[in-house]
Each structure stands twice: as structure tokens, then as C-alpha cells.
């Protein structure tokens, strides 16, 4: 009994492992650690977040300390008058060999008192920091979208594979039935040929759908760095809710005010405006206050071909401390300043156009996605009704075939129509989910909470469902 219980436990564990599927949340968390695109966006953000600090440096004091050591050797010859022992003057050639060592430090502090260009450079740096924040926030939302889209692509491909396999099995059964009926002389050989064609087409589509599943799984691998095979699937009772608020004007207004790329464009416009002002003030004078201190020492040795009390070894020490005001007035720098001003003006104009372009694009996209979500809901209901009608038509065609009022082509066409409607129904539900996520992203309302909420509508497939959806 103990052995039997242990066997049952092991079998249960094996079955659980066989049906182990990856949830959307797990894939999101794996991608959060392994997606290089998101990591690159974060690195760019961290780099650009230093721009305000760099720009502020132009307004703060600068302190510089220098230390210098120099050793020089001098060999010189010169005519000099020296005093003789008798008190007279002698004109002699004096040869000197000197070694001079200079060393000391220099400390300087410089503080801008007036520099309008540096002030606007600082404001430009702050605006660029805000651009970086908005762009990175948009990258985080795009990351959620990429995870959801990649996940839905796998669900679409696996649903299509599952439907095609079901269709293939149904056509295989139909083919066997027609072959038996033909052997019994109940139907013509044309019916067998039509059934064989339908089965062969379904087999071909199965091969194609297996490839689509493999391709879509590569999309998940690209983000997570891990291989996946079975993922949680969408519940049948998933309800396609309309957007909240259910008003196109509210979403248009939200996109126009809160879209992250539009916010980034507006901050970029501010940065371009400050850059233009900074370029203008390159013509303005600057005033800086300086404080300095230094200590310099000189020593060395000297050799001479004569003996004289006037020939001394190098030796000097000096200390300096003081302040200075430096006024700089740019007059002409080869036309560079004026060219930079014109260039900055054109860049500012381009940034204004980018804001207008982005605003129009966001408004259009908000309206399009809202209409798509609403249309998806309508299509979901229409496809649900179409499935019921297709089932009725298939049942009628099957019943008519049995009594001889319908032929095999009618049955196969009806069966194809049923599978097509079921396939379209599954895909339109995924369209609704994806478009809903995209609509929220345009209005900067997409958070991880939306992803976790959608994950609650997914469940682990059974062994049968997993086999039906697997590429194995």
C-alpha cells in the first residue's frame, strides 16, 4: 500500500511538471531582469540624468591646484669685470655651470559673477534631465507593451495550431468515413478525393502553424533569455470591457496632456529655447572673481672658473596671495558665435515643429485605438454569434449528407467555416486585449497593475490542451 501511494504521488508530480506553464507575470519578471532593450534605456536615462549636474557646473566656483617641479642645467660664458688683489678692475672671461631647481604650488579659485550664457546652459541641462525622465518612463511602458504583445503572439499562434490540429483530426475522421462508404458503394470516388484534399490542406496548415508557434516563442526568448514552450491560456469567460472612461474625447485629452513622448518633446522644446538664449548671450560680456595663492622655491648649485664673492648659488622663496576681477568682452571669433546663434534658432524651430507633430500623432493614435477597442468588442459579439450559426450550418450539412440531400463538399465547407469563425473569434479577443493596453499606454495610464490584472484571466492548460498547443 505504501508503494502504491508513493507511485501515485510520483505520477501526480510528473503530471504536474508536464503541465507546468509560464504565467504572464513570471515572463514579465524574467524580462525585467534580462531584456537588453530595457537595460539600455535605463543606462541612457542614468547617463542623461547627469546633464543637469554638468550644466550647473558652469555657475559654481572652480578650484584648481597646481604643483610644479623643474630642474635645469645651465652652462654659460660671459665677460665680467672683477676686482683684482691690488684694487683694480680686471676684464676676464667667466664660465659658470649652474643647476637650478624650481618647485612650488599654485592655488586658484574662480567664481563667475555674471555669465548669462552659463545660466541658460544650466536651464537647458535641467530641461534635458526632464526629457530623459519622460523618455525612460515611456520605455518602461513600451516594455510592458512588448511583453504583453509577445505573450499574445504566442497565444495566437498556439490557438491557431490547436484549431488546425482539431481540424486535421476531424478531416482525418471524415476521410476514413468516406473511404469506408466508398468501399461499400455508398458514395462516389469524388467524395473521397475531396476529403483527401481537405485533410492534406489541414496537414499543410498544421506544419505552417507549428512554425508560427516556434517563431513566436523566439520573441519571448529575445526578452527573457530563457526557452518557453507552454504558457497560461486565456479563460473562456474573459469579458471584453469597453475603455474606461467610455468617451473618445476624454482619451484624446488624456493623450494630448499626459503622453510621455509628447511631454518629452515639450521639455526638448524648452531645452532648445534655452540653448537659443545661451547662444545669444555668447555675445555678452562675462565677469569672474578670482582668488589665488602661491608658494615658489628656487635653489641649486653653481661652479665657476674664478673665485668671487659675487657669484652665488641660486636661492629664492616667494609667497603670493591676492584677488582679481576678470572682465571678458567677446568682439570677434571668426563668425563662430553668430553661426551658433543661427543654428540654435533653427533647432528651436525644429523642436516646436516636433511638439506639434507629436501632439497631432498622439491625438490621432488615441482616437484610432479607442475606435479599435470599441470595434473589437462589437466583432467579438458578432464572431460569437457567427460560431453558433456555423455550428448550426455544419450540423445541418452533416445531417443532410447522411440522408443524401447534401454532398461531401457542403460538409467540408461548413466545417471549414466553423473552424474559421472559431479562429477569428480567438484572434479578435487578443486584438481587443492588445489594443486596450496600447490605448492606456498612449495616455500614459499603463502600469504593471494592468498586467497583473490581465494575468488573473489566464490559467494553466490541462495536459490535453498543452499537447494540442505544443510544437512537439
Q: Examine the domain organization and report whether 158 and 291 are in the same domain.
A: no
What are the residue ranges in the chain where pLDDT is below 50? 1-3, 6-18
Q: Examine the domain organization and report whether 195 and 266 are in the same domain.
A: yes
Q: Examine the domain organization and report whether 324 and 396 are in the same domain.
A: no
CA distance readout (Å), 190 to 183, 199, 316, 394: 13, 14, 119, 20
Whether 262 is in a domain gets the answer yes
Beta bridge partners of 301: 99
| CA–CA dist 292, 312 (Å, integer) | 31
Whether 14 is in a domain gets the answer no
Q: What is the pTM of this model?
A: 0.84
pLDDT at position 246 is 94
| CA–CA dist 180, 203 (Å, integer) | 21
| CA–CA dist 66, 352 (Å, integer) | 46
Whether 175 is in a domain gets the answer yes
Question: 300 is written with which cell numbers?
Answer: 641649486
| CA–CA dist 19, 367 (Å, integer) | 41
Question: 472 is written with which cell numbers?
Answer: 512537439
Q: Examine the domain organization and report whether 218 and 85 are in the same domain.
A: no
DSSP string across 382-435: HHHHHHHHHHHHHHHHHHHHHHTSS-HHHHHHHHHHHHHHHHHHHHHHHHHHHH
pLDDT at position 182 is 81
Q: Examine the domain organization and report whether 304 and 407 are in the same domain.
A: no
| CA–CA dist 380, 378 (Å, integer) | 5
Whether 190 is in a domain gets the answer yes
* CA nearest neighbour of 232 among 26, 449, 461: 461
pLDDT at position 309 is 67
Whether 259 is in a domain gets the answer yes
**How many domains are there within the chain?**
2
CA distance readout (Å), 57 to 53, 106, 111, 121, 270: 7, 22, 11, 10, 20
428 near 382, Cβ under 8 Å? Answer: no
Whether 122 is in a domain gets the answer yes
Q: Examine the domain organization and report whether 378 and 312 are in the same domain.
A: no
Q: Examine the domain organization and report whether 91 and 128 are in the same domain.
A: no
The CA-CA-CA angle for residues 359, 270, 53, to 5°, reads: 130
Q: Examine the domain organization and report whether 313 and 392 are in the same domain.
A: no
Q: Examine the domain organization and report whether 78 and 182 are in the same domain.
A: no
Residue reference for cell 559673477:
113
pLDDT at position 349 is 97
What is the domain-level CATH number for residue 420? Answer: 1.20.1600.10
Whether 200 is in a domain gets the answer yes
pLDDT at position 124 is 95
CB crowding 399-437: b at 16 or more within 10 Å, else e: eebeeeebbbebbbbbbbbbbebbbbbbbbbbbbbbbbb
Q: Examine the domain organization and report whether 235 and 133 are in the same domain.
A: yes
208 Cα distance to chain centroid: 32
Question: 450 is written with which cell numbers?
Answer: 494592468
Q: Examine the domain organization and report whether 201 and 89 are in the same domain.
A: no
Q: Examine the domain organization and report whether 68 and 146 are in the same domain.
A: no
State the residue range of the domain holding 297: 63-113+287-328
Whether 333 is in a domain gets the answer no
Amino acid at each position: 500500500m505504501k508503494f502504491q501511494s508513493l507511485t501515485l504521488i510520483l505520477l501526480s508530480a510528473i503530471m504536474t511538471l508536464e503541465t507546468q506553464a509560464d504565467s504572464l507575470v513570471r515572463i514579465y519578471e524574467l524580462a525585467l531582469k534580462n531584456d537588453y532593450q530595457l537595460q539600455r534605456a535605463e543606462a541612457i536615462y542614468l547617463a542623461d540624468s547627469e546633464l543637469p549636474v554638468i550644466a550647473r557646473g558652469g555657475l559654481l566656483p572652480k578650484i584648481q591646484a597646481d604643483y610644479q617641479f623643474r630642474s635645469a642645467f645651465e652652462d654659460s660664458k660671459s665677460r665680467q669685470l672683477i676686482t683684482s688683489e691690488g684694487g683694480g678692475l680686471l676684464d676676464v672671461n667667466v664660465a659658470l655651470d649652474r643647476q637650478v631647481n624650481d618647485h612650488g604650488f599654485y592655488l586658484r579659485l574662480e567664481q563667475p559673477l555674471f555669465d548669462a550664457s552659463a545660466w541658460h546652459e544650466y536651464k537647458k541641462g535641467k530641461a534635458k534631465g526632464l526629457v530623459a525622465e519622460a523618455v525612460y518612463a515611456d520605455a518602461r511602458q513600451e516594455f510592458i507593451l512588448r511583453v504583453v504583445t509577445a505573450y499574445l503572439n504566442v497565444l495566437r499562434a498556439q490557438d491557431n495550431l490547436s484549431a488546425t490540429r482539431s481540424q486535421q483530426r476531424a478531416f482525418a475522421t471524415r476521410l476514413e468515413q468516406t473511404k469506408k462508404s466508398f468501399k461499400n458503394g455508398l458514395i462516389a470516388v469524388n467524395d473521397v478525393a475531396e476529403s483527401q484534399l481537405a485533410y492534406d490542406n489541414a496537414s499543410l496548415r498544421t506544419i505552417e502553424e507549428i512554425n508560427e508557434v516556434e517563431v513566436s516563442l523566439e520573441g519571448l526568448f529575445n526578452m527573457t533569455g530563457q526557452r518557453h514552450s507552454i504558457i497560461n491560456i486565456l479563460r473562456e469567460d474573459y469579458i471584453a470591457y469597453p475603455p474606461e472612461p467610455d468617451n473618445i474625447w476624454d482619451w484624446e485629452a488624456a493623450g494630448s496632456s499626459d503622453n510621455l513622448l509628447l511631454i518629452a518633446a515639450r521639455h526638448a522644446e524648452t531645452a532648445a529655447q534655452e540653448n537659443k538664449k545661451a547662444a545669444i548671450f555668447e555675445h555678452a560680456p562675462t565677469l569672474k572673481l578670482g582668488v589665488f595663492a602661491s608658494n615658489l622655491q628656487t635653489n641649486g648649485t653653481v661652479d665657476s672658473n674664478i673665485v668671487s664673492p659675487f657669484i652665488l648659488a641660486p636661492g629664492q622663496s616667494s609667497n603670493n596671495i591676492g584677488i582679481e576681477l576678470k572682465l571678458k568682452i567677446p568682439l570677434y571669433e571668426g563668425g563662430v558665435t553668430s553661426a551658433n546663434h543661427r543654428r540654435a534658432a533653427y533647432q528651436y524651430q525644429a523642436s516646436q515643429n516636433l511638439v506639434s507633430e507629436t501632439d497631432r500623432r498622439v491625438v490621432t493614435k488615441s482616437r484610432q485605438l479607442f475606435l479599435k477597442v470599441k470595434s473589437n468588442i462589437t466583432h467579438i459579439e458578432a464572431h460569437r454569434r457567427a460560431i453558433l450559426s456555423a455550428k448550426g450550418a455544419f450540423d445541418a450539412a452533416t445531417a443532410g449528407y447522411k440522408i443524401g440531400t447534401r454532398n461531401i463538399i457542403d460538409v467540408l465547407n461548413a466545417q471549414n467555416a466553423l473552424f474559421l469563425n472559431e479562429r477569428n473569434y480567438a484572434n479578435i479577443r487578443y486584438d481587443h486585449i492588445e489594443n486596450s493596453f496600447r490605448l492606456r499606454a498612449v495616455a500614459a495610464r499603463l502600469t504593471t497593475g494592468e498586467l497583473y490584472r490581465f494575468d488573473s484571466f489566464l490559467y494553466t492548460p490541462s495536459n490535453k490542451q498543452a499537447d494540442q498547443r505544443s510544437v512537439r
